[in-house]
Amino acid sequence: MSEAKKDARVANLEKVKAELLARKQELEQEMTTLYQDKFSDDQVQDAGDQALTSVMESLKSSFHDAKLEEYNRIIKALDMIKDGTYGICVDCDNPILEKRLKSFPNATRCLACQEAFENTHHDSI
């Protein structure tokens, strides 16, 4: 790898890392807010209100699960940045497309290798 190329990659990584850290903080705040809501609207309710509340609670918890999943992905991605394995396919050593990393920051395989992997590992998702 030429020096210029290496520099460009490091600069890009720093940017990615900053974005991931910002998103991580955002998610932490969103998840904290979710919990605060849950505890603050603890008032006397009639049966209709209670049914609505339980729907809201299950919506909230699935919303929370999605956030937590994204949060875990970001934590993993930050670990991989630290290890220097971020954005590099574990199978073919090629860089993983930025578009793919945007949706899956902790992706460890490029799309082609991921598809090949899934075709040979049907039972593991």
Q: Is residue 98 packed enough to be buried (19+ CB in 10 Å), middle (13-18) or exposed (0-12)?
A: exposed
Considering only 70, 89, 107, 108, the residue that binds Zn ion (CB under 5 A) is 89
Considering only 7, 57, 91, 115, the residue that binds Zn ion (CB under 5 A) is 91
C-alpha distances out from residue 117 to 42, 63, 68, 105, Å: 48, 29, 25, 18
Give the shortest CB-93-to-Zn ion separation in angstroms: 7
CA dihedral 64, 82, 98, 88 (to 10 degrees): -120
Q: Give how many residues touch Zn ion by CB under 5 A.
A: 5
Question: Is residue 107 at the binding interface for Zn ion, with CB under 5 A as the rule?
Answer: no
Question: Is residue 77 at the binding interface for Zn ion, with CB under 5 A as the rule?
Answer: no
Q: Which stretch binds Zn ion (CB under 5 A): 9-17, 23-31, 64-72, 110-118?
A: 110-118
Residue 16 or 113 with smaller CB distance to Zn ion: 113
Q: Residue 88, SS3?
A: strand
